[in-house]
A = this chain, B = another copy of it.
Amino acid sequence: MTKIVTIILMGFGRVGRAFARLLEEKRELCSERYGLELELKAILELGGGIVFSRFQERSRLLKNPDLRIQDDRSWNPGLTLEELLPKTEPGVLVDCTVSSIKNGEPGLGFLNKALDCGWHAATASKGALVFDYKRLLNKAREKGLKIKFGGATAAALPTLDVGLCSLAGAEILGIEGILNGTTNYILTRMDQGLSYEAALNEARQKGIAEPDPSMDVEGWDTASKLLLISNAVAGTEFTIHDIRVEGITKISAEFLRAAKEEGKVVKLLGTLRKQGSRFEAEVRVSPLEPGHPLFGVSGTDKGITFLTDTMGSITVTGGKSDPRGAAAALLKDIINIYR
């Protein structure tokens, strides 16, 4: 009994490519272990797309790592999601585009259209959900559909699954997370003696930091992930304006030295705390004691600690944060939609 699941992929950048390849690689496993035949039906980019009619075409496209899909012979300029969705058997829309947290676009439009046409969605992008969390989740619920965003909250580090599945029945009293690999890498290198500028440059050269690293170093990426995790797991209804955000750009060498002398290590921490019956969230540069469960999370690694009423404190660390890790998180989300 195999279920065929149609997939439309939005975006063919690094994560989109990794996802398309992973689908091919895991074809047999998904069918044998989960009874799912995941069928990549189309890839869309801004400006057009490709609809696959035969397996061979997809293979050809994926075999060429440098190909811009716009240059492929089956490229269909002007093809849009709006046009494609209604004439395709509903499955999962996979969003690998990059969306703004200021207006949620372009992802917000994609996700809304998908839900309107009866499609589930899995996204590796935070923007749409950070901007319009409540409305999107409500719409999905009303229609009996699912929006999964594990890949948007820290790639392969399982944050939402643990919060929702492993902590079912527990009250979340707090969350602490090192949720951004770029800033954690920079802080780790600063702890080893580099200046902020030198550490940032090194991160850029290694492809860890993006050309414009402001979302990361000013704390907004951490804040966005914290928002999504809190809203999903602790039932908050935060918008990005509810979170006090501080970045790592103004840390002084003295601050780091003082922390180090006390045996502490400095991290950019996303924190949720229950104060009375309300939750408060902030992103802050925080020195951690050696006994802290996130103390050893260094370099581009990430980690999250959930504090609960009945299960004590539970920490998850690790998980690849490269495109393949994000792709693996998308695949996991798709499998779990159909479980």
Contacts and interface: CB of A to CB of B under 8 A. Distances in A.
Interface of A: 22, 26, 29-30, 34, 156-158, 161-162, 165-171, 291, 293, 295-296, 305, 308, 310-320, 324-325, 327-329, 331-332, 334-336, 339
Nearest to A171: B29
User: Which of A158, A316, A331, A336 has most chain B Cβ within 10 Å?
Assistant: A158
Contacts of A316: 162, 314-316
Given A162-B166, A318-B305, A325 B296 contact: no
Main secondary structure of the interface of A (DSSP, over half): mixed
7 contacts: A30-B169, A156-B311, A169-B328, A170-B328, A293-B296, A310-B324, A310-B328
Contacts of A335: 168-169
Contacts of A158: 162, 165-167, 314
Given A168-B336, A316-B315, A318-B315, A310 B296 contact: no
B311 A169 contact: no
Given A293-B317, A296-B293, A167 B332 contact: yes
Nearest to A167: B332
Nearest to A324: B310
A30 B29 CA distance: 35
